[in-house]
Structures are given as structure tokens and as C-alpha cells.
Amino acid sequence: MLDTLKGSPVVHGIDISGENGTFSIAPFAGEIGFIGIRATSWSAFGLVEDPYFAANWKNAKDAGIPRIAYHAIQPASAVTVYEQADALEHAVSSHGIIPGDLFAVDLEPVYMNEVPPEVGAHFAVTFAHQVNLRFPGHRVVAYTDVDLANRGYCAGLHVHPLWLAEYEVSAPSVPAEWANRGKTWHIWQTTGTGLDRDLFNGTPEDYKYFTQPDLPPRSHQEGAQTGDFTDPDNHTDPTPGGSSDGSTVRVV
């Protein structure tokens, strides 16, 4: 479970989706310190719960492995940002949430490239804040690749810890959105084919601390902190035809 990267401790993890089916998690219990599980997915029928989420979510809990529920946002969809957050909330709430569970807003190129960077970034920020509203006390992580971040699709997401996809490199880059604010990566997805492999930037104790968003940042890991944050544009839904609630939300 614990390894080192250039002399610093890291914790191994994996992330899975419906493509992995009902995944046998128990054999990994001694190898990994966390697992990302896709909660919702896009199909010919629109936005639905991932068909294997319920089983994989339960299996991870039974194996005692800390969990991250993620949703790949689709800004160009007729499904509004609030409806997408509702779908994630329904999937996770239906199958149980426990202290230490995390969430991730997943920025996938196939969906993000359908809209300009400023639209995609605003959608991502709004979605993350909506998840904060629905699940206070559970941290929201921002998953992206380097290219999307460098083209502006992550503007405003620096208040959320970085889960970075970057392959075939000895160490991950840190996009300017985080680096310019003295922040670094928290999770690094090192492979993106077959079974996705990840590293957490710290020890198992650091990860446990990381899942408690009301605590202050620890050592070099700055991550998002709890605090008041008013969404840009008075919290206007970035989806065409969307609504506005003018909320002030808690960033965790």
C-alpha cells in the first residue's frame, strides 16, 4: 500500500467504472488505500446510475477501502448542472455514505471539448459546489488531465484538491491553476487503460486526515479548505436554459 516517489511517501489506489463490471475488490484490500468508483454514467437513455455502482460501492465498504464517488460532467448536455448533481446525490445516497467518503468532479476531454473553456470551467465549479451543498463534510476532488487544465477548463477549481491524469512520466506536472497558488497534486492517475492506477501524495495517515475537510491543511498538501465561497455570476446555471439560486455554499 505504501511506497515512495522520489523519496516521498505515496499510497496506491485504483479507480473503476462500469467497464470493469462487478469488480472483485477484496483481493486489493492489502494493496490499495483508496478506490474511485463511477457513480453515474451517460448512455443512450441519458444520465443514469452506473450499472455496477451499487455492487462496487458496497464491496469497497465491506473490504474497508476508502471510497471516492465520481461523476463525469457533460456541460453541453440538456441535463442541467443541478440535475447532474442531483443524479450523483441520488446514486450515492441510495447506497449509503459514511464518514471519509469523497467525491470527484470528473473532467473528461470527450465532454469538455464540446464547449469553450470558460463554459466548461464554470460548469465544473458550479457542479463541485452543488455537491458541497448536498454532502457537507465530504471533500470534493477535481479530476482532470494536464491538457484540459492548461487550456483553461479548470479555472476556479484550485479550491479543490487536484486528481491529475498524466501518463508515461516519472512525476506529474502541476497545472498553473494550482501551482500558481502554491498547491500541488493530491492524487495522480498513472495509467488510463485496463485497470486505472493511482497514487495519493502522502501516507495512509495523511489520506485519513485528507478525508476530514474541517481540519486545516497538512504539511505541503494545501487542498481545499472549508470556507464561504459565492459562486461566480451569482451561482447562475451555466447550462443553457438553466436557473439561478444565488446561494453561498461551503467549500470542502
Q: Over the stretch 15-56, which tens digit does the pLDDT of each residue have?
A: 999 989 999 998 998 899 999 999 998 988 889 999 999 999
pLDDT at 6: 59
Q: What is the mean pLDDT of the chain?
A: 86
Provide the β-strand partners of residue 47: 42
pLDDT at 36: 98
pTM comes to: 0.85
Residue 61 to residue 26: CA distance in whole angstroms: 10
pLDDT at 2 over 70: no
CB 5 within 8 A of CB 185: no
Nearest in space to 79 (alpha carbons), one of 48, 36, 35, 38: 48
| Domains of the chain as residue ranges with CATH | 2-251 (3.20.20.80)
CA distances 48 to 10, 35, 138, 241, Å, are 34, 21, 22, 21
Q: How many CB atoms lie within 10 A of CB 62?
A: 11
Residue type at position 158: H
Tell me the three cell numbers of residue 159: 479550491
Give the pLDDT confidence of 191-241 residue by residue, as tens digits: 988 899 999 999 999 999 999 876 655 544 444 333 333 333 333 455 544
